[in-house]
Structure 1
Amino acid sequence: MPELPEVETVRRTLKELILGEKIKDVIVTWPKMVKHPDDVEEFRHRLTGQSFRDINRRGKFLIFELDDDALVSHLRMEGRYGLFPAEEAPDKHTHVRFLLDNGKELRYRDVRKFGTMHLYPKEEVFNHLPLSQLGIEPFSDEFTAGNFGTALRKTTRKVKPALLDQCLVVGLGNIYVDEALFRAGIHPEKKSNELSEEEVTRLHNSIIETLTEAVKMGGSSIKTYVNGQGEMGMFQQTLFVYGRQGEACRRCGSEIIRTVVGGRGTHTCPECQDS
């Protein structure tokens, strides 16, 4: 599933491609993707005639700001956006098409059909699910070591499942949680409320460091992720632990191991993450 760096990369790419473009029609061939409004025809009618004014992100969600409404889009496992000439036939995995005035189409393609779209008036978008219950944004001023520590102390869960909870901190998934925990020298099974102040500070800093580096490199193209122009991310070439089970730790040379924590495949160095 695309995590914060991948979604941020898509956001930046799409801003270069579609800002100011006007929607002249919308074609939805898999109505179940549209979660709000319930009526796909209403979805189509409301979008038609509006222009893309900005594209923002909240956690793993893209927020397309239009003239009157905001379209909230979650890519889930394999969703992707791309800009295509209108005369080029869409493939069978293209489920939503935004026909633009400039003769091109913004297309949403999703092999598994897990992606979701919610349309709300702009001034109401943060008052409704899926955005209303999200936690702290890692790149925001609110994400201080103090606020982060307060949130962690409220749960007795192991730190990895806690970090995957989008109600605590948004945007982190399996890849970047494993990487941040490694950089902080913290074992993923340690309980969140037992982290020392020093460990909280290390983890806070490692989350920001990991995500910042990943965004600069366009994210990690694990499996099928590409940005809005079909380009792969390159951060996977610098991963310390994720997907490297059986290989030598880049820091100490110990063998990276894979276990399951909170139902998720987890990669750790037994020497560098012994606490």
Structure 2
Amino acid sequence: MQACPYNPLQMPELPEVETTRRGLVPRMVGRTIQDVVVRDARLRWPVPRDLARRLRGAEVVAIRRRGKYLLFDFPKGHLLVHLGMSGRLTMVPEDRPAKLHDHVDVRLDSHESLRLNDPRRFGAMLWIGGEAEKHALLRGLGVEPFDPAFTGAHLHALARGRRVAVKHFIMNASVVTGVGNIYASEALFRAGIHPTRPVGRISLERWNVLAQAIRDTLSRALDAGGSTLRDYVSATGEPGQFQNVTSVYDREGQPCRRCSRPIKALRQGQRSTFYCAGCQR
């Protein structure tokens, strides 16, 4: 069988973004912004020119996550951050010299800085003056995987009459937000569902199994600190470990951990999908 080529560049997904959030909360919430240094504003959307003026002297009230977005709540607005394809947020001493692709520093009264590094500049750092959930980037997002509203019945209702492949469906952020490529392949393996199966042909019972498999997969990834394929590290500089324990992802040709048949790979859109032909139907 011809190998399925893929690019191991990883877009940070729910586990990586949530791990980052958890690392930032104890070091940022309750702190006051002293200044903002923008070295390169040319991200996917330009960093607002008045960001330093808006943040200077403001206290960080909370840090939340919505899908793959981080929301830093302030008394008079919100800082929205998206890590794009290669971005990462780390806490560094305020006097640490900037390296290549260190585009923005948010300096705190603790003498630390929140530093955004983004080699491909597909990320974003934007100011929201009104209600965050009504922002154009957030209002169309689907249910969160750990929300009680995320159920097999919810997925079954959205899938009724549709022919799209199930892997594409669960990676659609308007259906469920935060399920990235690694975690979609792993959840489908856990649920025993072939990634190309049309969603309209999946029973409610199997949707219930898949909904739980998505939650279980993401929970395991969170426990492992996310996945590091290339660039991602947590806010404290630690790489994720989930890539070391995957069942199918990036294991083409290796024996299935359940049935010992070789793991297969195929292309769906622009992404590689890994699966076991013996365990997934």
* 1:148 match: 155
Distance in 2 between residues matched to 1:50 and 1:151, nearest whole Å: 42
DSSP 3-state at the match of 1:40 = coil
Deviations 1:96-144 (A, max 9, x none): 11122222211111111111122112x5111112111100100111112
Distance in 2 between residues matched to 1:196 and 1:262, nearest whole Å: 25
Distance in 2 between residues matched to 1:67 and 1:34, nearest whole Å: 26
Aligned residue-pair number: 271
* 2:135 match: 128
Q: Given that residues 34 and 118 in structure 1 are in contact (C-alpha distance below 8 angstroms), is that contact kept between their aligned partners in structure 2?
A: no
* 2:19 match: 9
Report the Cα offset of residue 154 of structure 1. Answer: 5.6
Question: Quick one: which amino acid aligns to residue 238 of structure 1?
Answer: V
Deviations 1:191-215 (A, max 9, x none): 1111111211111110011011111
* 2:71 match: 63
Q: Given that residues 43 and 119 in structure 1 are in contact (C-alpha distance below 8 angstroms), is that contact kept between their aligned partners in structure 2?
A: yes
Q: Of 21, 24, 27, which aligns to 2:34?
A: 24
Distance in 1 between residues matched to 2:203 and 2:153, nearest whole Å: 12
1:106-121 correspondence to structure 2 within 5 Å: 106-121=114-129
Question: Quick one: which amino acid aligns to residue 191 of structure 2?
Answer: A
DSSP 3-state at the match of 2:42 = helix
DSSP 3-state at the match of 2:267 = strand
* 1:86 match: 94
DSSP 3-state at the match of 1:181 = helix
1:125-204 correspondence to structure 2 within 5 Å: 125-153=132-160, 155-204=162-211
Q: Given that residues 34 and 40 in structure 1 are in contact (C-alpha distance below 8 angstroms), is that contact kept between their aligned partners in structure 2?
A: no
* Structure 1 residue ranges without an equivalent (≥5): none
Asked whether 1:210 is paired with 2:210, we answer no
DSSP 3-state at the match of 2:131 = helix
Q: Of 39, 42, 46, which aligns to 2:54?
A: 46
Deviations 1:4-36 (A, max 9, x none): 11111100001021111111211112223273x
DSSP 3-state at the match of 2:50 = helix
Moved more, 146-155 or 15-24: 146-155
DSSP 3-state at the match of 2:272 = strand
Report the Cα offset of residue 261 of structure 1. Answer: 1.6
Distance in 2 between residues matched to 1:269 and 1:172, nearest whole Å: 20
- Identical amino acids, percent of aligned pairs: 39
* 1:33 match: 43
Cα RMSD for the two superposed structures: 1.5
Asked whether 1:240 is paired with 2:247, we answer yes
Distance in 2 between residues matched to 1:39 and 1:145, nearest whole Å: 39
Report the Cα offset of residue 250 of structure 1. Answer: 0.4
Give every structure 1 segment of 4 or more consecutive aligned residues whose post-TM-superposition deviation is greater than 4 Å: none
Q: Given that residues 54 and 65 in structure 1 are in contact (C-alpha distance below 8 angstroms), is that contact kept between their aligned partners in structure 2?
A: yes
Q: 1:160 to 1:106 in 2, by over 3 A?
A: same
Q: Which has the higher helix share?
A: 1
Distance in 2 between residues matched to 1:255 and 1:143, nearest whole Å: 32
Report the Cα offset of residue 262 of structure 1. Answer: 2.8
Report the Cα offset of residue 43 of structure 1. Answer: 2.1
Distance in 1 between residues matched to 2:115 and 2:272, nearest whole Å: 32
DSSP 3-state at the match of 2:35 = strand
Distance in 2 between residues matched to 1:89 and 1:77, nearest whole Å: 24
Distance in 2 between residues matched to 1:6 and 1:93, nearest whole Å: 20
* 2:108 match: 100
* Structure 2 residue ranges without an equivalent (≥5): 1-10
Question: Quick one: which amino acid aligns to residue 234 of structure 1?
Answer: Q
Give the TM-score normalised by the residue count of structure 2. Answer: 0.92
Question: Quick one: which amino acid aligns to residue 180 of structure 1?
Answer: A
Deviations 1:212-242 (A, max 9, x none): 1111121111222110001111212210000
Question: Quick one: which amino acid aligns to residue 42 of structure 1?
Answer: D
Q: 1:241 to 1:39 in 2, by over 3 A?
A: closer
